[in-house]
Amino acid sequence: MSKTPVPKGFTPVHSARFGKKGSQKLAGYEADGGYASWKKVAKGWKSGDFTPAKIIDMVKASGLRGRGGAGFPTGLKWTFVPPKEKRGGKPVYLLCNADESEPGTFKDRLIMEEDPHQLLEGMLIASAALDVKHAYIYIRGEMVRCAEVLNEAVAEAYAAGYLGKDILGSGLDIDLTVHRGAGAYICGEETALIESLEGKRGHPRIKPPFPAVSGVWDCPTVVNNVETLAAVKFILDNGPEWFKGMGRNEKNTGPKLYCVSGHVEKPGVYEAPMGIKFMDLLALCGGMKGGKKLKAVIPGGASAAILTAAEVADLPMDFDGVAAAKSMLGSAAIMVMDETTDIPKAVTNISKFFAHESCGQCTPCREGTPWLNKMLKRLIKGEGKRDDLDLLLQISNQMGNGMTICVFSDAAIAPVISGITKFRDEFEAYLSKAKAPDFALAAPAEVTPKVADRVAEGIHG
Ligand SMILES: Cc1cc2nc3c(=O)[nH]c(=O)nc-3n(C[C@H](O)[C@H](O)[C@H](O)COP(=O)(O)O)c2cc1C
Ligand code: SF4
């Protein structure tokens, strides 16, 4: 039913019901086999056919990695929650990260708006596995329609007995609340999300402790992305081997929603097996807009290093494939730029976003992000100074290397460093009428390998 083309031989998974009339409604979901896995889990709970360990083992065996940015193995993350006897009576919470604010990312919105019950079913299964009695969906405030659809779906699930007390006679009690944030990019960072859910300003926390040990209200907390949790439902439906069989290799598995924007004929969300080659994805989108030449690609949202056309020519679009090219898959927000794109202007635009969204707790980030933006704006106005490119790299160096509470600062410098490094001639062209520097830089500014490595490792923690 999915309206977008998929690769030959691939059957859509997350997007199978997108666009279908009444896809949001429980009746339609059940008619398409929805909640079958949840019913199986609930039925097998008392008999011991289904246990937390069995579900966690299935998720581990599937190779599922988090779809929120870092690509952390989901089953492994779940094992970090301390066992009941070590929790001091504290409850465990599951938080679904539906903040979806990374520029260029719009896949979670479609799951929530088009097929919300796939997410709810995944969350119910995850809650049973993690001994969660209360799960939350933290949704970005601006996504009003999504929140409405989700709230209707939650009400339907309660009415059908899939949520609430003694679910389907299993003895499982699970509540689910949709919580609307106020709309800040940083609230997508898991510890800022936790602070925000607690009613405080969305400021990231120093890690460790990690949320699995001490998260919301100081209780063990698992934070997972919308697409990650929805995938759990499909793993239970079809088995881990089915999921694993779909990827490029055993570390990059499953179906994947790719958000493609920019200079392509048909921008949109495309579902494909994890690890589809960039050029094949581009072909699904109808190719480059107006037949223009490909110049550059941002493969994983504004936080990802820019790749050149040559770098993406044979690139598998999965966590390890993009990391090997020293960028990251992130939230799979792929921004395509054609030959007419002015890279310094694109980088300046991105730097404005980061300057606006810094939470301000750490000096390098609070001061560095507007400084980069100010210098870049000056540069593209033709008012740059001769040393500006080296200074931009030097400032970037001082903002990275783990000197801040969260990796937002590393994200902010990735487009600047990669832009200047790979398209230096374009930046220099803006400097052709550059003024003499106000001061000489103390030492030749270079991007240290440490910064480059950290960006390449993938910055979303
Ligand atoms: C600045 C920043 C913004 C983030 N925004 C999001 C977001 O909007 N959605 C999301 O799922 N993860 C986001 N993340 C990643 C989360 O911190 C976290 O790793 C993720 O929700 C874990 O889920 P996963 O393991 O299922 O990927 C962000 C991270 C950073 C540093
Ligand atoms: S790095 Fe930036 S966004 Fe992250 S905590 Fe520090 S100031 Fe806030």
Q: What is the pLDDT of residues 122-133, one digit of tens each?
A: 999 999 999 999
304 occurs within a structural domain? yes
Q: Residues 379-393: pLDDT tens digits?
A: 999 999 989 999 999
Q: Which atom of ligand 2 is nearest to the CA of 360?
A: 7
pLDDT reported for residue 443: 53
The residue from 244, 265, 284 where one domain ends is: 244
Same domain, 331 and 352: no
Same domain, 325 and 347: no
Q: Which atom of ligand 1 is nearest to the CA of 190?
A: 17
Q: Check: CB of residue 74 under 8 Å from CB of residue 59.
A: yes
156 occurs within a structural domain? yes
Q: Residues 95-124: pLDDT tens digits?
A: 999 999 999 999 999 999 999 999 999 999
Same domain, 333 and 356: no
User: How would residue 181 be classed by pLDDT, with cut points 50, 70 and 90?
Assistant: very high
Rounded to an integer, the average pLDDT of 62-71 is: 97
CA 248, 250, 254: angle at the middle one, nearest 5? Answer: 60
Q: Check: CB of residue 318 under 8 Å from CB of residue 274.
A: yes
pLDDT reported for residue 82: 97
- C-alpha distances out from residue 24 to 28, 111, 153, 397, Å: 8, 10, 7, 47
Can you give the CATH number for the domain in which 141 is found?
Answer: 3.40.50.11540
pLDDT reported for residue 402: 86
11 occurs within a structural domain? no
Same domain, 354 and 442: yes
Q: Residues 309-346: pLDDT tens digits?
A: 999 999 999 999 999 999 999 999 999 999 999 999 99
Q: Check: CB of residue 111 under 8 Å from CB of residue 118.
A: yes
Domain assignment of residue 182, given as a range = 26-244
Q: Which atom of ligand 1 is nearest to the CA of 185?
A: 3
Q: How far apart are CA 335 and CA 301, in angstroms?
A: 7
For the Cβ of 406 lying below 6 angstroms from any atom of ligand 2, the answer is: yes
User: How would residue 426 be classed by pLDDT, with cut points 50, 70 and 90?
Assistant: very high
Using the mean position of ligand 1's atoms as its centre, give its distance from the Cα of residue 92 in Å. 19
Can you give the CATH number for the domain in which 381 is found?
Answer: 1.20.1440.230
Strand ranges, E, within 285-432: 294-298, 307-308, 333-338
Q: How is the beta sheet containing 333-338 ordered, strand by strand?
A: 268-273, 255-262, 333-338, 294-298, 307-308
Same domain, 334 and 398: no
Q: Ligand 1, residues 138, 189, 197, 354: which to mutate, most atoms within 8 A of Cβ?
A: 189
Same domain, 152 and 215: yes
Q: Residues 270-292: pLDDT tens digits?
A: 999 999 999 999 999 999 999 99
Rounded to an integer, the average pLDDT of 13-20 is: 97
pLDDT at 448 over 90: no
Using the mean position of ligand 2's atoms as its centre, give its distance from the Cα of residue 214 in Å. 20
Rounded to an integer, the average pLDDT of 64-84 is: 97
186 occurs within a structural domain? yes
The residue from 338, 368, 388 where one domain ends is: 338
The residue from 306, 338, 370 where one domain ends is: 338
Same domain, 233 and 146: yes
Residue with tokens 């289904």: 50
Q: Check: CB of residue 99 under 8 Å from CB of residue 181.
A: yes
- Average pLDDT over the chain reads 94
pLDDT at 269 over 80: yes
DSSP 394: H
How is 193-242 classified by DSSP, letter by letter?
A: HHHHHTTS---PPPSSSPTTTS-GGGS-EEEEEHHHHHHHHHHHHH-HHH
For the Cβ of 97 lying below 6 angstroms from any atom of ligand 1, the answer is: yes
pLDDT reported for residue 4: 85
Chain-centre distance of CA 270, in angstroms? 15
Question: What percentage of the chain reaches a pLDDT higher than 70?
Answer: 93
Question: What percentage of the chain reaches a pLDDT higher than 90?
Answer: 91
The number of domains in the chain is 3
For the Cβ of 196 lying below 6 angstroms from any atom of ligand 1, the answer is: no
391 occurs within a structural domain? yes
User: How would residue 232 be classed by pLDDT, with cut points 50, 70 and 90?
Assistant: very high
Can you give the CATH number for the domain in which 302 is found?
Answer: 3.10.20.600
Using the mean position of ligand 1's atoms as its centre, give its distance from the Cα of residue 99 in Å. 8
163-172, 229-238, 396-405: which range is least confident on average? 396-405
Q: What would the two tokens of residue 158 be?
A: 């309660």
pLDDT reported for residue 405: 98
For the Cβ of 189 lying below 6 angstroms from any atom of ligand 1, the answer is: yes
Sign of the dihedral through C-alpha 339, 343, 347, 349: negative
For the Cβ of 228 lying below 6 angstroms from any atom of ligand 1, the answer is: yes
pTM value is 0.94
pLDDT reported for residue 386: 86
pLDDT reported for residue 461: 40
What is residue 92's three-state secondary structure? strand
138-142, 249-253, 399-403: which range is least confident on average? 399-403
Same domain, 74 and 185: yes
Same domain, 276 and 354: no
Same domain, 227 and 81: yes
Q: Residues 450-461: pLDDT tens digits?
A: 544 544 444 444
Using the mean position of ligand 1's atoms as its centre, give its distance from the Cα of residue 379 in Å. 32
9 occurs within a structural domain? no
For the Cβ of 458 lying below 6 angstroms from any atom of ligand 1, the answer is: no
Q: How far apart are CA 378 and CA 42, in angstroms?
A: 61
pLDDT at 208 over 90: yes
Task: Please list, in sequence order, all residues whose beta carbon lies within 8 angstroms of the beta carbon of residue 158, skipping any fewer than 6 positions away.
Answer: 164
User: How would residue 401 be classed by pLDDT, with cut points 50, 70 and 90?
Assistant: confident
Closest-lying ligand to the alpha carbon of 303? 1
pLDDT reported for residue 442: 56
For the Cβ of 360 lying below 6 angstroms from any atom of ligand 2, the answer is: yes
Same domain, 225 and 285: no
pLDDT at 94 over 80: yes
CB atoms within 10 A of CB 155: 12
User: How would residue 435 be classed by pLDDT, with cut points 50, 70 and 90?
Assistant: low
4 occurs within a structural domain? no
Task: Please list, in sequence order, all residues whose beta carbon lies within 8 angstroms of the beta carbon of residue 118, skipping any fewer than 6 positions away.
Answer: 14, 17, 29, 34, 111, 230, 233, 234
Closest-lying ligand to the alpha carbon of 405? 2
Same domain, 216 and 279: no
Rounded to an integer, the average pLDDT of 350-361 is: 98
406 occurs within a structural domain? yes
How would you class 252 by CB atoms within 10 Å of its CB: exposed for 0-12, middle for 13-18, buried for 19 or more?
Answer: buried
